[in-house]
Structures are given as C-alpha cells and as structure tokens.
Structure 1
Amino acid sequence: MRSAAPAPRVIAVVGPTAAGKSDLGVFLAQQLGGEVVNADSMQLYRGMDIGTAKLTLGERGGVPHHLLDIWDVTEPANVATYQQLARAEIDRLLAQGRTPVLVGGSGLYVRGAIDVLEFPGTDPEVRARLEGELEEHGPGALHARLAAADPEAARAILPGNGRRIVRALEVIEITGRPFTANLPSHESVYDTVQIGVDVGRPELDERITVRVDRMWEAGLIDEVRALEERGLREGRTASRALGYQQILDAFAGECTEGEARAETVRATKRFARRQDSWFRRDPRVHWLSGAMEDRAELPRQALALVERAVTA
C-alpha cells in the first residue's frame, strides 16, 4: 500500500553486502513514488551482473534503476565522476517530484552523492611515479610510507590495496595535507534519511557463503571468462572486484577454481566487516534489523522510519 505521507528529499539504504539493501530499496521506491539510484561501485560496470548480485529486471519490480551498467570494465572507477552523475540523477528526480532512493554499500560513493565532499585533483606525473614505485616495490612499501605520513589513512586502507594507497599518497603530495583531511564530514547536501540494514555477523557470514555458492551455480565463471575477452584483466578497478579477481587468478593458474571460490567467501566476509565499520561511524544512519526473524517486518519499519522523519 502506498504511503500517504510525503517522502523526504532523498532516502539512502546502506549497509554491508548480503544484508538485503536492494530489495528494501525497491520496496521503498514503490511505496514512496521513487526510483533507485545505484551506489554500488561495481554495479556501475556493464556485464558484471552475477558477481555483483545486480537485480534482474524482474527483481526490480517495475522500479526504474539508474547508474547501472554505465562503464566498460576497462575504465577505472572514479568517485568524482560518479558524484556528478549521481547528483544529476537525484536533482532530476527531485525536479520531477520523484523520491530518489540511493542504494548501495560503497561508502565513499554514498557520501559523495549526498554529502559535502570535494575531490582533490590529480597530477599525472605524481600518479605515474607512484604507480611505478608500486609496480617495482609492491603495495607493502607504499603502505608503510602512508602509515608514516597519515596513520589514520593507513588504518583505513588495506596494505594490499595498491590503487587506494597510491591515491592517498598522491593527494598528500598534491595538497600538503593528510589524505584523511579530504574525507567527507557529516554535512549533507540533501535532506536525507539514511537507513542501515543490520544483520548479525554469524548470520551475515552464512548469507555470504550461500550467495557465493549461488553465484558459482549461476555461471559466474562463464561471466568472468566473457568479460576477460572484453578486457577485464586490464581494468584496474573491475579486475579487483570480489569473485572476479579470484577467478582471474584461477584462469592464470595461480589457484584452483575451488580455492578461488573459498577465497571469494573469505574476502567477501572481510569486506562486509569493513563496510559495516564505515557506516557505523556515521551517526545519521538509522539501523534496522535485517535478521531472518525480523525480515518480514523490515519494510514496514523502514517505511515508518521515513514517515516519522518527514513529520518530525
């Protein structure tokens, strides 16, 4: 039943992978006369469907979804570009009297869409030098340098994430300020209600295991093989996506397909913990239980939360 209460300007549904964000986003959009704006960085890529749990057309319940399948797998992710695209979609929907429902677990993308956040520029020479050092010495050496220059950034960036380490060091060199000084504050651009879907760690871990198993059964290996022919291995961002990176390693003979599957489960569980930690730091997120025993009540509770926010 459609809600009679007016919706806030923007709704954001956030939380870790496998928590149930996508289905909740569809429900809220249906009830509030809205449309979904994707905030999952890997669902921006064309052809990365199974491994990113992208909703099928049937699963979208007739709700228009925006910012899916907009980049080729060879293109590197760019949060600044995403910010421009997301705000254009949000502004367009608002002008049409529609409710933008931002859905995704990519924390910086969510913040880039709805919060005051300016991205420092890039310096091709500095970037090329740092990438050369990454290639020569590996991410560990650069992460140690980052830890000395900006300990907080080093704690937030995994030692093996060379791309993000290079970007942090580049920003520090260009701006002369810590990388963390450029991270977003809790200052919103839009009147937003943020809903976090909370699932306890044991249950979430089990959901992740089941999800990965289903991805394998649905043909993830064939999806990666097809994308490899389209340049996936050369894509600096897409090739590192969970599941895709592990299967590419198997194709290269670095592990078996069974080992790739097991590592995808482990890596996804670690990633979900980092997602949860990111969103927990934001006091504006209203957390609702998405646990199995509460799942039937989650849509109703989320809708009631939105309506209370409007009338408060």
Structure 2
Amino acid sequence: MAILTDEERDIDPYDVLGVTLEMGEKEIRKAYRKLSLRCHPDKNPGPEAEAMFHSISLALAILTNPEKRKFIDGKLAQSRAQAVRRAEMDSKRKAKVDDLLRREEDAKRARKDALDARKEAAKDEAVHDAGRRMVEERRKRQEAAIAAARQEKKSSPPPAPPPISPEDLQLKLQLPVGCTQGDLETALNKYGAIEAVHVALAKGKKGPRALVEFAAGNWGGCWACMHDGAGIGAKAKWAAGEPAWVQWAAQQRENGKGTGFGFGSAPDISDMKDRQRQREKDAAMESATLLRMRQAERERMVEEIRRAEA
C-alpha cells in the first residue's frame, strides 16, 4: 500500500511551507498558519490563492504524519545524495575537459614556438648570408682598387700628396648605449694625438654621438679608429666624406713609395688593413660557430617538443 497519494508525491512539503528538515511540528504548524492567513479563500478569493491553500494543507498533512514525513525525509535524503554525486561527477568531468583543453593549448603553443624558432633561424641565416656577401664584395672592390693602382703606377707618375685639412681628420661616431665621454677618451688613447672630442647627449634608445678631431699629422690613427669603431663597437663615418689622403696613402704603399710624404710618423696604413682583414675573418668564423650552436639548440628543442606531443 502506497504511503503517499499521487497528489502528495507531486509536491515538496518543506518547500511549500518554507521550512527545513530540522524544524519540529510546532514550527511547521506556525509556518502553516502564517501562510494560511494570506491565501485562505475567505480572505483572498481567487483560483491562485485557493490552489496555494490546498498545497499548504497537503504539506501540513504530510509533515504532521510521522510515517509520511519519514518517507519524505528518506526520499529527500536520497535526492540530495544523488545531487551531490552528480555535482562530483560534473566537477570531475569539467576538470578532465579543462585538462584536455590546457594540453591542447600547450601543444598549440609549442608548435607555434617551434615555427617561430625556425623562422628566426631563417632570418639569422639570411642576415649572415648578407653579411658574407658584403664582406666579399668589399674585398673584391679593394682588390680592384689595388689592381687599378698598380696599373696606374705603370702608366703615370705618382701623384703629389693631397693636402690634409682639419675636416679630413674628423670622424663622427655613434657610440654604444651607456658610453660616456670618459670611456671614449680612454679608448682613443691608443690612436695617438687627439685635437678635440665632443660628445652629444643620447636621444631615444640610441647611444650618444661624438665628433672626434685628430691632431694634424695623425692620419694613421684616424684611419685605424675609423675601421676599428674606436675599439668599442661604435659606428664610425667620415665627418666630411672619405678624404683623398686615404686612397692616396694606400696607393703609395702599393707602389712601394712608403708613407713618408710629409705625414709625420703615423702608423703604417697597409698593416692596419691586414689587421682589419684578419678581424673580419675572425668575426665571420665566430659568427658561423655561434650559428651552428644556435641551430643545434633549436633542433634539440624541436625534438623535445615532438616527444612531449607524442
């Protein structure tokens, strides 16, 4: 025999009366009286009030019957336990979905990083190739200039030494970030006599700029500083364009005339060229070694990413 009727099964008496499972019969009847004052047909005529009054009367009848209330409490406890289990399952399911999405994002990020690394390696290789081509083209130009000078030696007398003005011994330097005038003056000591050094404040993210004027007769030190970048990695250029004495001095050396045409005891320009060529070769070899090391490291990272994805 069923404990509850079909009509009683369709309602939650605790929810209808607004009470909890812990409340006793006295509190339940008090809640019923409070609701009945609002929806009793004598005080609030209408179909909605009548239906509500019928519901609270059914709820009161269930909760004041010990057998029916025990049955209802068991059903509610079972429903709550099922709700808790469903919530736990939903939480576990959500955690698995989140973990799957995270792993997919990690794999996607790893693939993107590997692709970016390959693109960066290709850019580095292109830059190095361009640098090697520039070095080769400069070497060819120098060889062509030397050959032309030798040919000119056979066909014409050596030219007279060109005049050297103060502007011909001036260099413009783009200094590294953080370089001060004191640092520059210390670096310039090895290039011989200096007439003046002027350093302008840095603008933006670039380092400061400087104008260096070498003393009269110190053309060799000026040439060496120009090609050494002042020994501190500065970008150097002639203040008024390459002066005529540079090519003239190189031609005199190639023609076996020496460099003592009224230029004092400046360093030998041909020796400086040999040292410059050697520095370029060393730099090219170092760049190639670093490139191979970076490529090996990238290949190792790609292999680790592949293993992680697998």
Q: Rg larger in 1 or in 2? A: 2
- Give TM-score, length-normalised by structure 2: 0.23
More helix by share: 2
By relative contact order (CA 8 Å, sep 6+), the higher-ranking structure is 1
TM (norm. structure 1) is 0.23
